[in-house]
Structure 1
Amino acid sequence: MTSRAGMREYPVALEPVGKGNRAAILALELLPQQQGFVASNAESLAEARQDDEAIARAVVAAGRVVGFLMYSAPEDDDEAIIYRLMIDRREQGKGLGSAAVAKLLEEIARLGRIRRVSICYEPENEAARRLYAGFGFVERGLDEDGEMIADLELGG
């Protein structure tokens, strides 16, 4: 997937989290006004180590880690759930979040058994709302924690 920001293109890759990129993921930062929207990457990486179904990915552009995401797609289920997506504050506004979501949806589709992708986000997170709506996610309402649930139905 290639993202376009102005005239510059940003090829985006999703790479497994490991020793080679863990420190870079931990160094990523959000804008101050985004702090309450997503768990810290340290917390997310700890959660991924404890949860056998969690799949953590570094978002890489131009050879550098620019973001982090985490999802699950249990083998006995036809639903994938995106738990985390963040792009470093210095890399925002370049289309990298959209490119990462597109790449993630490609990865999920390659599993061949997923019919629905779900995500939850804070209702006041307008950037997330616009991002996911742009891919066809439909808001379903609030969950028990007050987060917005949005689903994308995949073909198949």
Structure 2
Amino acid sequence: MIHLKRVSVDNWYACTQLDVTEEQKKSFPAPVVYWIAESKVVNDFQPMAIYFDSDLVGFAVYSDQPDHEDNYWILALMLDKKYQGRGYGRESLRKLIGLMKESLNCKSIMIGHRPENGIAGNLYESLGFQRVSEGLIDGEVVRLLRCK
């Protein structure tokens, strides 16, 4: 079963060891250690470790503060290359959406991905994220999920 835990003193280093394939580094260029460091100076960034049972399989970052249009953002979602292709990404995103809906009472969630990352685009779309723009933020496709 997939579950999320806050990045903490107990798991931060293990999170920094997560990695994507060489090809995926073009779509996910910032390593986990960058996101953890940024979360220490950007107070609304919430880094999360993704586990399947007791195995650390991935990492995510979301913002717990809305942007100027009242949207909440998922800033990063990645699965370690050893755990890809097992449905963990889909279940992780569902868990993260659920956490954000429950804890933030958000009306909408935004997520971006590089245009060449069709796997991410298909996953996000299959969970209800609709394309709202392309190229406005660091050349990314931006998607929106309306929370009910």
TM bin (shorter chain): over 0.9
- 1:109 correspondence with 2:123: no
Q: Which of the numbers 37, 42, 48 marks the counterpart of 1:46?
A: 37
Moved more, 71-80 or 38-47: 71-80
Stretches of structure 2 that go unaligned for 5 or more consecutive residues are none
Counterpart contact for 2:66–2:73, Cα < 8 Å: no
Q: CA separation of 1:114/1:13 partners in 2, compared to 1, >3 Å: closer, same or farther?
A: same
Q: CA separation of 1:18/1:130 partners in 2, compared to 1, >3 Å: closer, same or farther?
A: same
Give 1:75 deviation, angstroms: 6.5
The CA deviation string for residues 57-77 of structure 1, in whole angstroms up to 9 with x for no partner, is 000112011100000021687
Alignment-derived partner of residue 152 in structure 1: 145
Alignment-derived partner of residue 4 in structure 1: none
- 1:58 correspondence with 2:44: no
Q: Map residues 95-106 of structure 1 onto 2, 5 A cutoff.
A: 95-106=87-98
TM-score (norm 1): 0.88
Alignment-derived partner of residue 16 in structure 1: 6
- 1:120 correspondence with 2:112: yes
Stretches of structure 1 that go unaligned for 5 or more consecutive residues are 1-10
Q: CA separation of 1:76/1:69 partners in 2, compared to 1, >3 Å: closer, same or farther?
A: closer
Q: Map residues 59-78 of structure 1 onto 2, 5 A cutoff.
A: 59-74=50-65, 78=70
Give the secondary structure class of the aligned counterpart of 2:26: helix
Q: CA separation of 1:33/1:76 partners in 2, compared to 1, >3 Å: closer, same or farther?
A: closer
Q: Hey, what's the Cα distance between the residues in 1 that align with 2:147 and 2:129?
A: 10
Alignment-derived partner of residue 19 in structure 2: 29
Alignment-derived partner of residue 71 in structure 2: 79
TM-score (norm 2): 0.93
Give the secondary structure class of the aligned counterpart of 1:60: strand
Kindly, what percent of the aligned residue pairs are identical? 28
